[in-house]
A and B are shown apart, each in its own frame.
Chain A
């Protein structure tokens, strides 16, 4: 899979890209689909990083997929909207679209907070 752009590309700390082979079920695998460096995508990545740091400590991995470079990857995760965040692990797969500016909604979408709280 040559298409994986690890989060390091966008300047994320190195520890985020820990060896995925050793990922325990408790490790969160998040994939952010973007299309070039648009304001929405940049905002989404920043928002996501902050939420993960605050709620998941070191137990997460963010993979950024730029569809302009790898258009064929859009089919697999059924990507229509940009940016789209896909929670690959833990199951079930969840999708959140938008710039992730509404922190509460993101937390609910990621099951980090019960839906009733908003």
Chain B
């Protein structure tokens, strides 16, 4: 309860949390908000590039589609992609980190060298390479992002496990004869969880941003996906007159990433101020 009180005092973090909750609600309830999800794919070609009005809150795009509806549905896509990527990155990174942190042999070294390799190149560049390999599209973008993000989880968990490894209570468990998996999952993991959660929250924001960049470059989502990055790219040809085609998707990215960043920061301050170091 003390933690909750402390959290509530951090206004930006609460704001962030609020944004995330609102986003999830919108994403879940979008079928209700937008009467017919198919509408986002259909456009009235006679009503192209209409400015924001009562009928079309955010105006229409170059194919006559409702920008408001597309931005809302885009939030679903963004959250889905981000969740999948982060889940995948956790799925690879956390076990790897546990293993590398707890054991001492060449296996541990190998895992850490592997993280070095994947961290040797900035994420976007590696994502471009992978997209080149698997072919462009949302699936390959997600795979690429997961591949480039797992090292962060691995490193975080590695650091924590190393710290805990020499703790008294672990030694006690070893004396009692507990098996390594048991120690790892029942005792070490819960202590590591908080760091992972913080990392994951910040990672969500970062993933949404990178997915948008990939969509913008034409390497991620493909039409008619209402991906925000793709929408900005498509709307670019109609500036400056039809500014709404670019402004609102960009705003969507901004608010979403802001929400996750604020909340993530708040979590980090709450859980462990020492973790201020990295992304």
A and B are interacting partners: no
Which residues of B does A touch, CB under 8 Å? none
